[in-house]
Structure 1
Amino acid sequence: MSKEVAAQFDELAALYEDMASWPFRHDIETPSVIAALGDLHGLDVLDFGCGSGLYSRLLKRSGARSVVGYDLADGMLGYARRRAEKEGLDIEFVSELQPRFAGRFDVVLSVYVLPYATSVRELGEMCGALAGLLRPGGRLVALPIHPDYQPDPDYYQAYGFRLIPDDDHDRPPRSDGARIRLELCHGRYQASVHAWYWSRATLEAALREAGMTDLVWRDPSTASDPAAAAPLLRAYLDRPHAALILARKA
C-alpha cells in the first residue's frame, strides 16, 4: 500500500474502532479471524495494516508472546499507541518494517490490506513483503475483498457500508484492478475510501510467487449454526464482502 493510499485512513481511527461493534464484524468477521489464527501462545505475531490497533490488542490478549502493529497511516498509529497504553498492553506500533523485522514472525495477520494494492505489480510486492516477514513455516491469515462479493451497491448497506464500482475504465466490478469505493454509512459516521478488486486466481498467483504454499480459502462464518443467525446476518453470510486466505511460508 502506498503512503498516498494509506493517507485516506488518517482520520478514521475512531470509526474503525466503532466498527468492531457492528454485527457483521462482532458476530462474524472477528470470530472467524480468531478461529483462523488458532493458538497464539508463545508466538511472535505481526498485525500488518493494524489501523486503530483493534486486532493487535486481540492478538496480545490471545496469548501471543509479542505483537507488532504496522501501518502507514500516522493517525491510525497514534490512536493505536494511545489505546494500547491505556489498556496496559505491551504492543509495539511501527511505520517501518524492513530490515529489522525480516523473517521474525510466526504469524502475520493482514486484514483488509491486499485490496489496497492498486496494480498487479503492487499486489505482488505486497505479498512479497508479507512472506518476507515470516519465518520458514510461518502462517499468513489475510482478508481480501471476497472474489464473489455482491456487486449491487445497496446489498451491504444494512451492515453499515456500501461497495460501489468506481472505475474510470468502465471495467466490470469484479475484474482485476477494478476500483471500488467503500462508503461507510453507519449512524453518525459518513466516510469513503477506495479499494481495488483482485480475483481468486490473481491473489493466489501473487502469494505463490512470493513463496507461500498450502493456500486455503474460507468464508467468514458464525460460531453457531448459520441457519440460527439473525435474518440480517444470514444475508451477509450468503454473500460476504470479504474472504479469508490461509497460507504458509515454504
Structure 2
Amino acid sequence: MNTQQYDRIGARFEESKSTAAFSAADTHSLLLEIGDVQGLACLDLACGYGFNTRLLAERGARPAMGVDISPEMIRLARRHERERPLGTEYVVADVAAMPVLGDFDLATAVYLFNYAPARTALRAMFERIRANLTPTGRLVAIVPNQCPFPDANWDAFDVTVRERVPGGDAPLLKAAFLTEPPTPYEFYEWQHPDLERAARAAGFTSVAWRPITTPPADEHHDEALWTAYRATPVSSVLICATG
C-alpha cells in the first residue's frame, strides 16, 4: 500500500471530508447501519484524521480507537483529540499487519479495502479485523462501487477518476478529490465479489450488502443532486458478522 499519499494530502483531506457530497452520503449511511453504539468497544479502521472515530465516541462508544497507516493522519487525529477531548485513541498501523489491539464489538472501515494492492493483502486485512473482534462482533464498511469512468464519472459528487491502469489483481485508479486545487490520490478497484470472498476466507460467517443512503437536502446538497447520486452512487455498505 502507498503509505505516503495521505501523509502528503494531510489537512487538505479534511476539506474534502467536510464538504464532499460522497462523504456526506457515506457518513449518513454508516451511522444508520451501526445504530446504537453506547458502551460498545469500537475500532475505526482507515480512520484518517479521526472524523468517524470521534462520531463513535460522541455516540457513547468506549473505547473508540482509530487506526491508520499514515502518521500524518494520526497526528491530525490526535490534535483534534487534544483540542476537544472525547477519549478517542489512535494507533499508526497497516491493517493488513495490525496486531490484536483488543476485543471489539464493532469495527468500521470507510474506504480501507480499496488500498489493498493484491489479494493477499486484501485477505490479510479481513483476517486482522476478524482477529480484533469478539465472537459476536461485526464489521461495517463503506466500499467504492465500480466507477463508470471513462463513459461517465463522479465529478458532481466531488471526486473524479482520471485514469484506470490495468494489471495485477485489481486495476489501479488514479483519481482526485475535487478540492481547490484538486487533491490527487490512487486506489485499487476491487469488485464486490472479491471483497466477499476475502471476508469469508478470513472467517466471517455472514456477508451482506446495503445500498448507500442519502441525507436530507440542505444548503450544500439539494434533492436533485441526491437523486442523481442514488442513480450512480460512489459507494455501498458492506456488513460482515463473526457469528
Post-superposition Cα deviations, 1:72-116, rounded to whole Å, max 9, x if no partner, equal 1011010000011101211111114854415x1100001101000
Q: Does 1:204 align with 2:196?
A: yes
Q: Does 1:157 align with 2:155?
A: yes
Structure 2 residue aligned with 1:189: 181
Residue correspondences, number = 237
1:219-238 → structure 2 map (5 Å cutoff): 219-223=211-215, 230-238=223-231
CA distance in 1, matches of 2:207, 2:231: 22
Structure 1 residue aligned with 2:64: 67
> In structure 1, which of residues 42, 49, 57 is the aligned counterpart of residue 54 of structure 2?
57
CA distance in 2, matches of 1:65, 1:164: 40
CA-CA distance at 1:185 after TM superposition:
2.0
CA-CA distance at 1:27 after TM superposition:
4.0
CA distance in 1, matches of 2:90, 2:100: 13
TM-score, normalised to structure 1, is 0.87
1:106-145 → structure 2 map (5 Å cutoff): 106-145=105-144
Corresponding residue SS for 1:36: helix
Structure 1 residue aligned with 2:77: 80
- Tell me whether 124-133 or 21-30 shows the greater mean CA deviation: 21-30
Post-superposition Cα deviations, 1:194-227, rounded to whole Å, max 9, x if no partner, equal 11111121111000001112211112112459xx
Corresponding residue SS for 1:204: helix
Whether the aligned pair in 2 keeps the contact of 1:48 and 1:110 (CA below 8 Å) is yes
Whether the aligned pair in 2 keeps the contact of 1:160 and 1:185 (CA below 8 Å) is yes
CA-CA distance at 1:137 after TM superposition:
1.2
Structure 1 unaligned residues grouped into runs of 5+? none
Structure 2 residue aligned with 1:47: 44
Whether the aligned pair in 2 keeps the contact of 1:19 and 1:25 (CA below 8 Å) is no
> In structure 1, which of residues 232, 236, 248 is the aligned counterpart of residue 241 of structure 2?
248
CA distance in 2, matches of 1:153, 1:181: 16
CA distance in 2, matches of 1:178, 1:164: 13
CA-CA distance at 1:70 after TM superposition:
0.6
CA distance in 1, matches of 2:173, 2:234: 12
Structure 2 unaligned residues grouped into runs of 5+? none
Whether the aligned pair in 2 keeps the contact of 1:13 and 1:51 (CA below 8 Å) is no
Q: Return closer, same or farther for 1:142/1:153 CA change in 2, 3 Å cut-off.
A: farther
CA distance in 2, matches of 1:153, 1:62: 41
Whichever residue aligns with residue 241 of structure 1, its letter is: V
Structure 2 residue aligned with 1:7: 4
Post-superposition Cα deviations, 1:18-68, rounded to whole Å, max 9, x if no partner, equal 223325246422111111111100100011111011111111001111111
Q: Tell me how large the CA RMSD over aligned residues is.
A: 2.2
Whether the aligned pair in 2 keeps the contact of 1:43 and 1:66 (CA below 8 Å) is yes
